[in-house]
């Protein structure tokens, strides 16, 4: 008994095989295009990642430079604060000395019978 494979293909079967072959070729073509698009996206993604990594390195360098600048400025500010505190103490000492000198001058002027300038301006 002959099998179905031994019989010649009928015209309808050949047409069906052509249709299926065309469908497979179209799918292969579509998959090839998708693969090319995927490859293109992968290449672009690699470039994007490389650019982001480069930007990240630049940002880190910038932050490190800013940190160093802040540390240096902090030391300068600390030195200025100490100098300002010392100047404040000196100013207070000078004010106290001037107060003593003015008191002595007023006492001398009173002893000589001269009115201090504040008393003259207030009375005048």
Whether pLDDT at 77 is above 70 = yes
Q: How far apart are CA 111 and CA 105, in angstroms?
A: 10
Whether pLDDT at 5 is above 80 = no
* Confidence band, pLDDT 50/70/90 cuts, at residue 34: very high
pTM confidence score: 0.49
* Confidence band, pLDDT 50/70/90 cuts, at residue 124: very low
Mean pLDDT of the chain: 89
pLDDT at 92: 96
Q: How far apart are CA 53 and CA 73, in angstroms?
A: 30
């Amino acid at each position: 008994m002959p099998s179905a494979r031994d019989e010649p293909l009928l015209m309808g079967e050949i047409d069906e095989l052509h249709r299926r072959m065309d469908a497979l070729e179209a799918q292969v073509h579509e998959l090839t295009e998708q693969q090319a698009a995927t490859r293109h996206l992968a290449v672009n993604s690699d470039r994007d990642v490389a650019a982001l990594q480069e930007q990240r390195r630049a940002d880190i360098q910038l932050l490190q430079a800013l940190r160093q600048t802040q540390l240096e400025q902090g030391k300068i500010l600390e030195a200025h604060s100490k100098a300002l505190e010392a100047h404040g103490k000196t100013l207070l000492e000078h004010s106290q000395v001037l107060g003593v000198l003015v008191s002595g001058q007023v006492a001398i002027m009173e002893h000589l019978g001269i009115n201090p300038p504040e008393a003259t301006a207030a009375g005048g």
